[in-house]
Chains A and B, each alone.
Chain A
Amino acid sequence: MVILSVMILNKAGGLIYQRDFHEGLHKLSSNDFLVLAGTFHGVHAITSRISPVHGSGGLEVLESENFRMQCFQTLTGTKFLIFAEPHQPNIDVICRRVYELYADYVMKNPFYQIEMPIRCEAFDRHLMAYLKPKQ
């Protein structure tokens, strides 16, 4: 499995986590990442409004020649953006697992402040172990 990078957006569209899991990725400045997150949040809301079908959710998948981005939104409004290779299978399973790790190592950490940027070493470690197991 090749996961390029993961972003987590809080329910207001603020970027609370961003990490790369692959070498040689194009780097954005941290400010650009914040803008990207905010923009995506807006686009996601727009896509759900312009849908001709009643009750549709927003944008879920973005595909290009070189990557595929999956957006997984939880019922609480948190968004997980997973950037992977174009033909990565079972990406929904990966989303769920990342959500479980988030529930465990971020939300259950009593010193993590809800909606704030995630600085949890255990979350980093487990995410790395799951997304990039040592070959």
Chain B
Amino acid sequence: MSTTKHARIGEEVWKSRVDKVNAELVTLTYGSIVQQLCKDLEGDYTEVNKQLDKMGYNIGLRLIEDFLAKTNMGRCNGFRDTAESIAKIGFKIFLNITPTVTNWSADNKSFSLVFEENPLADFVELPDDGRAQNELWYSNILCGVLRGALEMVQMQVEAHFASDVLRGNDSTEMRVELIRIIDDELPPGDE
């Protein structure tokens, strides 16, 4: 599928089939979750990252059905196609953003998503405790969402943030790597 087609599907579904909600509600709800986690885990940011990823994973397992039901998509034609679908359709319909797909590895198994904007992180400044800036991946829930959603369509991936503007980096970049296709769970006939 060409990339413009992805963009068109994303745009169409976003316009006609998605209920919109106030962006501040999302930002503040997510913010309070992260803040509460930091408090409950007593500033153990590595553990906070882990919990956010886990929460995202559980969301992804469910969200994929909504994605498939709304977009009426067929199976992706290779991992590059998957990456375009995630960026131009997935992120578009659920967050109304379109991260850039870039930095493909030579074997076509890993790529980066570069976020120009990130509604989860609007208004956010990381705590000034000398550690959060180096340890907390604020939007780590998104990694989990991708991992969960792709697992349901038989792709095992590893996703992590490589940089974040909140930490003072120049860009926000997520790295996604295909570990394997879970072919023993592929529905029959879908290869």
- Do the beta carbons of A100 and B69 come within 8 Å of each other? yes
- Do the beta carbons of B191 and A76 come within 8 Å of each other? no
Chain B residues near A (Cβ < 8 Å): 61-66, 68-70, 72-75, 152-153, 185, 187-191
Contacts of B191 in A (CB 8 A): 55
Distance in angstroms between the alpha carbons of A107 and B64 in the assembled complex: 9
Distance in angstroms between the alpha carbons of A104 and B190 in the assembled complex: 25
- Do the beta carbons of A44 and B188 come within 8 Å of each other? yes
Distance in angstroms between the alpha carbons of A50 and B69 in the assembled complex: 29
Looking at the assembled complex, report how far the CB atom of B141 sits from the nearest CB atom of chain A, in whole angstroms. 15
Task: Please tell me which one of the listed residues A58, A99, A114 contacts residue B69 in the complex, with CB atoms under 8 A apart.
Answer: A99
Distance in angstroms between the alpha carbons of A11 and B191 in the assembled complex: 16
Looking at the assembled complex, report how far the CB atom of B67 sits from the nearest CB atom of chain A, in whole angstroms. 8
Contacts of A49 in B (CB 8 A): 188
With an 8 Å Cβ cutoff, the count of chain A residues facing the other chain is 25
Task: Please tell me which one of the listed residues A57, A77, A78, A100 contacts residue B185 in the complex, with CB atoms under 8 A apart.
Answer: A77
Indicate with 1 or 0, residue by residue over A48-81, a CB within 8 angstroms of chain B CB atoms.
1101000111100000000000000111111000
Known interface pairs A108-B62, A114-B61, A114-B62. Does A76 touch B68 (Cβ–Cβ under 8 Å)? yes
* Residue of B whose beta carbon sits closest to that of A79: B187
Looking at the assembled complex, report how far the CB atom of B81 sits from the nearest CB atom of chain A, in whole angstroms. 13
3 nearest interchain CB pairs? A48-B189, A57-B189, A48-B188
How many A-B residue pairs lie within 8 Å, measured between CB atoms?
58
- Cβ-based interface call for A116 (8 A): no
- Cβ-based interface call for A103 (8 A): yes
Distance in angstroms between the alpha carbons of A75 and B153 in the assembled complex: 6
- Do the beta carbons of B190 and A102 come within 8 Å of each other? no
- Cβ-based interface call for A45 (8 A): yes
- Do the beta carbons of A103 and B69 come within 8 Å of each other? yes
Known interface pairs A75-B75, A75-B153. Does A57 touch B188 (Cβ–Cβ under 8 Å)? yes
Distance in angstroms between the alpha carbons of A55 and B72 in the assembled complex: 20
Contacts of A78 in B (CB 8 A): 65
Interface centre among B69, B72, B191 (most CB of A within 10 A): B69
- Do the beta carbons of B62 and A76 come within 8 Å of each other? no
* Residue of A whose beta carbon sits closest to that of B64: A76
Distance in angstroms between the alpha carbons of A131 and B73 in the assembled complex: 24
Looking at the assembled complex, report how far the CB atom of B14 sits from the nearest CB atom of chain A, in whole angstroms. 16
- Do the beta carbons of A73 and B62 come within 8 Å of each other? no
* Residue of A whose beta carbon sits closest to that of B67: A103
Contacts of A108 in B (CB 8 A): 62, 66
- Do the beta carbons of A96 and B189 come within 8 Å of each other? no
